Copies of this chain bind each other. A is one copy, B any other.
Amino acid sequence: MASSPIFSGQIISVDVEEHELPNGRRGRFEIVRHNGGAAVLPILNDGRLVLIRQYRAAVGRTLVEIPAGRLEGNESPEACITRELAEEAGYRAGQLSPLGKMLSSPGFCDETIHLFVARQLTPIPPSPEEDEVIEPLLLSPTAARQLLQQGGIVDSKTQLALLLYFSTEDAP
């Protein structure tokens, strides 16, 4: 496989690679490499969900999302999401359960996002990074479901985490 490195940044790198396909043909592919991430749906003891409103430069607007972050080096998804839950939402979790995993856009990118649910939450002071502008948004499951149905939640990891949570038996 021939590979030409195009860009190596802080968050992503980009290669143009020639791959042999299963049918024996060769193809040229533009590929975004990402170290992977983790995202968490935090659930308060009263059942409310902890979402965040975060400005996203890539789309030039503020989105409703769940807390999430990029894996640093060989960090485990659990360690990553424990850090992000503290920094972005201001909670420590007593219980962290895997909810699934997703490839965000495998047509051109290798990013895997590991999804979790966090329960038994204890508030701690949030500490967002300098380039993160984040506000918490506490929603009942009913309000979150309505916001999703009305198109107010467009971030794929957040949509997926909510739908997976709503599809489990213990969800209201």
Contacts and interface: CB of A to CB of B under 8 A. Distances in A.
Residue with the highest number of chain B CB atoms closer than 10 Å, among A10, A55, A58? A58
Interface of A: 6-7, 9-12, 14, 16-17, 19, 21-23, 25, 27-32, 34, 37, 55-60, 62-63, 65, 68, 70, 100-113, 130-131, 133, 151, 154-157, 159-160, 163-164, 166-167
A57 B163 contact: no
Contact of A34 (B65, B100, B108, B159): B108
A131 B31 contact: no
Contact of A163 (B21, B104, B107, B167): B167
Nearest to A18: B57
A14 to B, nearest CB: 6
Contacts of A62: 22
Contacts of A131: 21, 25, 27-29
Contacts of A113: 105, 156
A22 B105 contact: no
Contacts of A160: 156, 159-160, 163
A156 B103 contact: yes
